[in-house]
Structure 1
């Protein structure tokens, strides 16, 4: 019969201690044999110098970022100011346009306002308001073919026809009076011409009588008769010339009498073939109105030119400011690129010096396999 050995308390404690020491050895071995956690041969001054360079590089980057942010704030403020000016100018122009529309382009002044009037139904009367007794809303208000305003329209048409007839009668009477006056003037001219012809005929008969008397006394007064005949012809020619000049000078054609051009149809109307032009007062009014129109057109043109010039000046100033900012940004970018290139060259030189230092100073003693064989044999 086999005898089983039973572990006592001391054995259990010893077993626990051994297990604990074994676990500690495994943990220690994992820490010591891990190359990432093991630090051998660290160059502290080089690390401090590298930390200082990183810190300086970070400070320089912060300074550049601050400079860029400051410049961006300035550019943003300038853009905000220019945008505010443009908005203010557009707002002012909009206010002027609205004021002009409210003063001169009101909706109720339009020709088609009756088509767009929102109160047109309120202003309309019922279709059967004046055609007998009123009917209910559910009743038929108007039938196809009805003419509810026939009587009123017939009265208006009759009154309009009567007014047209009276106007035609007045025009005919005025034309007839004008014709009678013209005929009377023509008859007076004919009578004056006949009277003048009778007078000339009378003078001619008298001259002939005198000539006959002179012929009878030819032998006695030939020289006197000839002198008298010359005197009579001269007087007759002078009288004819004087009468002709007087008639021409006193005619309506040379005197340009504006009264003959007045029409009986109205004070502002004139007879075309007798119209001689405007008088001095009418010419003054015409020239004054023309001058006012020229002044208004010139002012309007100057205002438009001024507004266009202001817009052009504002656009040019904005373009100049944008071009200046672009040039400044390009200059800054070139300067930053140059600085980055110099820093990169300096870093490349430092990297080369660092590699040379590692190659010539740090890594000049290459260990052999025998050197590595003495390590990692135990944790103690």
Structure 2
């Protein structure tokens, strides 16, 4: 068997859809009376395009200013980050070098709380003699005698050099801190200046946009005023022509032959008809009077017929009342006969019951008869 459920050709489907879209657009274009008759306001569209271009230019300038500001801020942030990284890099090194340079054992001035004389116990009473038996009273150190003068001078020079180095480092650190503060102040000043410039630029852009919008509005207002003036002039010209035509035409002359149709004299022209002549009016009035007489005669006949129907309804109501009274009398007589019959029947039943009780049912039942109907077996 042949497979008939084949998918449609995409090219054919696309062509059909394109034709449908073109036809739909054509119908919209033809059926839109306003666009077909009046057209499109090209000036308004051009003004809107110009406003859009101005708005886009202002947006581009604002974005460019923001971009330049962001680039400047990025550079400053990179500089600060680089300086902070350098500080983090040399600060641990300085912290590690400080104990080795400024906190040596020989430069310590602290004393033990439990033994304040501990620093002096390591030295003998005589600097040139290291004998432990020689105490402070041995007078081994004479006046003006200094055996460790060279060592003391060297230590003083080293201490002075280290002190100068520390002072220089402190001064350098203070100078770096001052330069960092100055750099931060400059950065803050640059940021404030840039913000002020951006604010001024934004304000100028807003002013330019408002000025452009105001100019566009003025142009549109002028165009609208000119359009209204032209429309007013056209309306006045049309009104003047209409008045002139009415004055010069036969519409206001009062001649009845003008209202007759040229091809059919029995017909009139609706646009120039001014009313009927006295002859048709008299004919119409007579016809209306005849219609009134006929209407009155018809009303009188209807009234007579209604009176006849009313009398007939009254007679029928009286006959119904008489029949109802007869029915009531028959019902009362039937009830009286039924009552007498029931009374006679009751007397006969009573006599029959007395006969049964006094003559027929004289024997009393014994215990043999009482056993019946006492169980289910």
TM-score tier after normalising by the smaller chain length: 0.3 to 0.5
Q: Max radius of gyration: which structure?
A: 2
Query: Structure 1 length normalisation: TM-score?
Result: 0.39
